[in-house]
Amino acid sequence: MNWNHAINWFEIPALDLDRAFNFYNTVLEGHVRKGTFGDGDLILFDVPFSTGEAVGGSIVVRQDLKPTTDGPIIFINTFDKIDECVSRVEGAGGKVIVAKMDLGKFGYGAIIIDSEGNKVGLHQNIK
């Protein structure tokens, strides 16, 4: 297992897990799934994090985490469909803050506010 990433795990706070699931499931076209860890429910991004191939993350409801537009921005993989993902944001209950932007050799990015009030990025790593 290779864990040589600068970030190994992230958590995006939610106020309503069902609403967050519907938002990310719609925007990312099904690349999320419901799960549990310990005694809590969460939403997992559908990437091979358990093998170390990808950075894993989840969306969680916890008392110590609150949605915010301040702080670091996590960029979520759009699986080479950034245009489609961005086009679904507002219909799913979010807001587009920065439309698709050219990141040169690093692909494309966009910045949105999700259904929970978090500022997050969307990323496509190829042109």
What pLDDT, in 10s, does the model give residues 27-79? 999 999 999 988 889 999 988 777 777 788 999 999 999 999 999 999 999 99
Q: Letter for the amino acid at 28? A: L
User: What is the model's pTM?
Assistant: 0.92
Could you tell me which of 49, 89, 94 has the C-alpha nearest to residue 58? 49
Instruction: Give all domains of the chain, ordered by start, each with its CATH number.
Output: 9-124 (3.10.180.10)
What is the arrangement of strands in the sheet containing 9-13, beginning at the earlier edge strand?
Answer: 9-13, 56-60, 40-45, 32-37
CA-CA distances (angstroms) from residue 117 to 15, 23, 47, 68, 93?
A: 9, 12, 23, 6, 10
**Amino acid identity for residue 115 in this structure:** S
Which of 53, 54, 110, 102 is closest to 78 using CA atoms? Answer: 110
- What percent of the chain has pLDDT above 90? 79
pLDDT of residue 76: 95
- Percent of the chain clearing pLDDT 70 (strictly above): 98
Q: Give the separation between CA 107 and CA 114, rounded to whole angstroms.
A: 22
